[in-house]
Amino acid sequence: MPPGNGSDPARRFDALVVGAGFAGLYALHRLRGLGLSVRVLEAGSGVGGTWYWNRYPGARCDIESLDYSYSFSDELAREWEWTERYATQAEILRYAEHVADRFELRRDISFDTRVVSAVFDERASEWTLTTEAGDRLRAPFCVMATGCLSAPLEPDFADRDAFSGELYYTNRWPHEPVDFTGKRVGVIGTGSSGIQAIPEIAKTAGSLSVFQRTPNFSFPARNEPLSDEEQGAVKADYRGHRQRGIERGGGFGARWAPVLGPAADVPPGEQREALEERWEGGGLAVLSCFEDALANPEANAVVAEFVREKIAGVVDDPETAALLSPDTMVGCKRPCLDTGYFETFNRPNVRLVDISEAPIERLTPKGLVTDGVDHPLDVLVLATGFDAMTGALLRMDVRGRGGRRLADAWREGPRTYLGLAVHGFPNLFLVTGPGSPSVLSNMMAAIEQHVDWITGCIAHLRERGARSIEATREAEAAWIEDVSELADASIYPTCNSWYVGANVPGKPRVFMVYLGLAGYIERCNEIVAKGYEGFALSPGGA
Ligand code: FAD
Ligand code: NAP
């Protein structure tokens, strides 16, 4: 398709997909399988989404590679070889590129194409997407595969543009290698991105200052090469492996030590032994040691205290160790996996600057100022996160029936049915939208389930000769109740995380995740079995 000049009439497709990360790629593959003409619009210059943009040093998955893979194609699962327990960003990007080539997806993707608006035409029952370049594309169905963590946040520091050194954001890292050798480097942000990048940057920087506003819990990843035997065993029954992961809870961890009962039922000596076993095994397993760790504050405290002791045991300077120890519940914010993060603070070239009481005052041409102190820097790395879950959707002008703006419908927080659909926005599908398990599951499992559901739904509409499908107001309201009821039985709403939008000034505080992938899938399937319960279908050729 040639690029448009803004005066082209809108081009028509059966379905439009926004985003060419893992969700958009799979949506294209499946929708094509229905015989639809599909166009994918992607702001980046290549496929991979998260793994295209986040190229910072140390970037890796923290769900193990063998879990963090598509399961829809046995051939793909068999032929792709992961080299490490947690693949690097570069390897995951190669995987996304391999998928795009293997299933010949690129010919239907427009790169360097940012969608600025999506407007529903009720009369024609069609969505019109307009790109930044002014192109217009129309289709009855629109799938938003825009990502949960794809809208970068830029902190509003005073004199933000004053810094004359090198400035990098982890979430849109340059494609060329960045050389830190001998330089004075500052990192702002100690979430998953900062915690992965800091140990790598410290290896070559002349000096590294880590500006920490809030400490985070982090567990050792214990990355290692993957053996052929290990891969072979999982791949022999890849779909079964995924299913066992779903039954465990989040679509991953099928090979971990089992989840124990409530912490209070485990004698203290055995609690410690169980936690040690999972800590030594590496990864997120420590968090699922006891079944009530994310529901019961006392159980949570057992795990949190164990991790705090580990931090104190690793970091030589007690004052630094105390600053690195979170006093919140563990898991309430997204826990991190690291390779030598806490050990990094024992290096002579690394220091922790506590900015919890005195924030970054301003940037200067030569560095930054905090608490009245100048910090001269050659390089500043911002690992400051995302406007998660809703950011990418609301940065577009999305308008549904009657011209209603999604931004208005979501003024008090996102409202969806199943995290897949929004009342007032017919034939608009969200992949891993707010109100679905998304970021509290293996995202690959969540993406595949959503795309399969959406494809099944569109096939159903076409079989029925229905023109459109829309979530009812009542079903949406009941779903929101369910999401918050599950959340209220957990520790999640109690802390200031991006799960509740607390990292974005002015964002309504709403917990945006449906807890429990297995239960969620069951609900989705039941709704289909009951003839798309909670949805209204309009007759007349789709
Ligand atoms: P994305 O990969 O975010 O892709 C969305 C795409 O949509 C982007 O390419 C973006 O450019 C495009 N887009 C957005 N808006 C527009 C627009 N208006 N117009 C055109 N294009 C647009 N999850 C896990 O389960 N395990 C992990 O280990 C893990 N690690 C992560 C590490 C990092 C650094 C980050 C940031 C996230 C990680 N995640 C992880 C979450 C990760 O986002 C998902 O696993 C997955 O990659 C999401 O795929 P997606 O296709 O839904 O979204
Ligand atoms: P994040 O978790 O939101 O962390 C952002 C960090 O920046 C926080 O430490 C935050 O401090 C700090 N910050 C933000 N604004 C600031 C300001 N104005 N001044 C000082 N500090 C500021 O973002 P992220 O690290 O990019 O991770 C986001 C999510 O992406 C993760 O939770 C995870 O789901 C995913 N991810 C996964 C991996 C992986 O291991 N596979 C890697 C990276 C990302 P406060 O806490 O005080 O707000």
**Residues pairing with 420 in the sheet:** none
Please give the number of the atom of ligand 2 that sits closest to the Cα of 356.
47
Q: Whose CA is nearest to atom 30 of ligand 1?
A: 61
282 occurs within a structural domain: no
pLDDT, residue 527, reads 98
Q: Whole-angstrom Cα distance, residue 448 to residue 71?
A: 8
Please give the number of the atom of ligand 2 that sits closest to the Cα of 334.
32
CA 193 to centroid of ligand 2, rounded, Å: 6
CATH number for position 90: 3.50.50.60
Query: In this structure, which ligand is nearest to the CA of 450?
Result: 1
140 occurs within a structural domain: yes
Q: Whole-angstrom Cα distance, residue 416 to residue 425?
A: 10
Query: In this structure, which ligand is nearest to the CA of 360?
Result: 2
Query: In this structure, which ligand is nearest to the CA of 354?
Result: 2
* Same-domain pairing of 177 and 104: no
pLDDT, residue 27, reads 99
Residue 73 has pLDDT above 90, yes or no: yes
Report the share of the chain in percent with pLDDT over 90: 95
What is the model's pTM? 0.97
Residue 9 has pLDDT above 80, yes or no: no
Report the DSSP pairing between strands 367-370 and 373-376: antiparallel
Residue 15 has pLDDT above 50, yes or no: yes
pLDDT, residue 542, reads 43
* Same-domain pairing of 402 and 529: yes
* Same-domain pairing of 513 and 487: yes
Q: Are 537 and 469 in contact (CB under 8 A)?
A: yes
Q: What is the mean pLDDT of residues 457-483?
A: 97
Q: What is the mean pLDDT of residues 281-298?
A: 96
CA 150 to centroid of ligand 1, rounded, Å: 5
Give the pLDDT band (50/70/90) at residue 160.
Answer: confident
Residue 255 has pLDDT above 90, yes or no: no
DSSP annotation of 317 reads: S
Report the DSSP pairing between strands 126-131 and 115-121: antiparallel
What's the total number of domains in the chain? 2
* Same-domain pairing of 431 and 507: yes
Residue 1 has pLDDT above 90, yes or no: no
Q: Are 252 and 244 in contact (CB under 8 A)?
A: no
* Same-domain pairing of 110 and 164: no
Secondary structure of residue 422 in the 3-state scheme: coil
pLDDT, residue 540, reads 74
* Same-domain pairing of 366 and 462: no
Q: Is the CB of 212 under 6 A from ligand 2?
A: no
Q: What are phi and psi of 151, to 5 degrees?
A: -105, 100
CA 331 to centroid of ligand 2, rounded, Å: 14
459 occurs within a structural domain: yes
* Same-domain pairing of 397 and 503: yes
DSSP conformation letters of 447-502:
HHHHHHHHHHHHHHHHHHTEEEEEE-HHHHHHHHHHHHHHHHTSSGGGS--GGGTT
User: Any residues with CB less than 8 A from the CB of 107 and at least 6 apart, and which?
Assistant: none
Q: Whole-angstrom Cα distance, residue 144 to residue 438?
A: 14
pLDDT tens digits for range 376-415: 999 999 999 999 999 999 999 999 999 999 999 999 999 9
Query: In this structure, which ligand is nearest to the CA of 149?
Result: 1
pLDDT, residue 520, reads 98
CA 265 to centroid of ligand 2, rounded, Å: 35
Residue 324 has pLDDT above 60, yes or no: yes
291 occurs within a structural domain: no
Q: Is the CB of 334 under 6 A from ligand 2?
A: yes
Q: What is the mean pLDDT of residues 289-298?
A: 97
Q: What is the mean pLDDT of residues 424-443?
A: 98
Q: What is the mean pLDDT of residues 187-195?
A: 98
Q: Could you tell me the two tokens for 457?
A: 């739904």
CA 442 to centroid of ligand 1, rounded, Å: 13
* Same-domain pairing of 380 and 402: no
Give the pLDDT band (50/70/90) at residue 293.
Answer: very high
* Same-domain pairing of 56 and 140: yes
* Same-domain pairing of 438 and 485: yes
* Same-domain pairing of 132 and 33: yes
Query: In this structure, which ligand is nearest to the CA of 150?
Result: 1
pLDDT, residue 249, reads 85
284 occurs within a structural domain: no
Give the pLDDT band (50/70/90) at residue 344.
Answer: very high
User: Any residues with CB less than 8 A from the CB of 116 and at least 6 apart, and which?
Assistant: 130, 131, 132, 396, 397
Q: Whose CA is nearest to atom 6 of ligand 1?
A: 19
CA 455 to centroid of ligand 2, rounded, Å: 33
Look at residues 368, 385, 402 and tell me which one is the last residue of a structural domain: 385
Q: What is the mean pLDDT of residues 29-48?
A: 98
Q: Are 281 and 249 in contact (CB under 8 A)?
A: no
Which residues form the domain of 30?
A: 11-151+388-539
Residue 123 has pLDDT above 90, yes or no: yes
pLDDT, residue 325, reads 98
Q: What is the mean pLDDT of residues 318-333?
A: 97
204 occurs within a structural domain: yes
Q: Is the CB of 321 under 6 A from ligand 2?
A: no
Residue 6 has pLDDT above 50, yes or no: no
CA 198 to centroid of ligand 2, rounded, Å: 13
39, 150, 198, 393, best to mutate for ligand 1 pocket (most atoms within 8 Å of CB): 150
Q: Is the CB of 532 under 6 A from ligand 2?
A: no
The Cβ of residue 193 has, within 10 Å, a number of other Cβ atoms equal to 26
Look at residues 385, 401, 424 and tell me which one is the last residue of a structural domain: 385
33 occurs within a structural domain: yes
Q: Across all residues in the chain, what is the average pLDDT?
A: 96
270 occurs within a structural domain: no
Q: What is the mean pLDDT of residues 465-475?
A: 97
* Same-domain pairing of 374 and 475: no
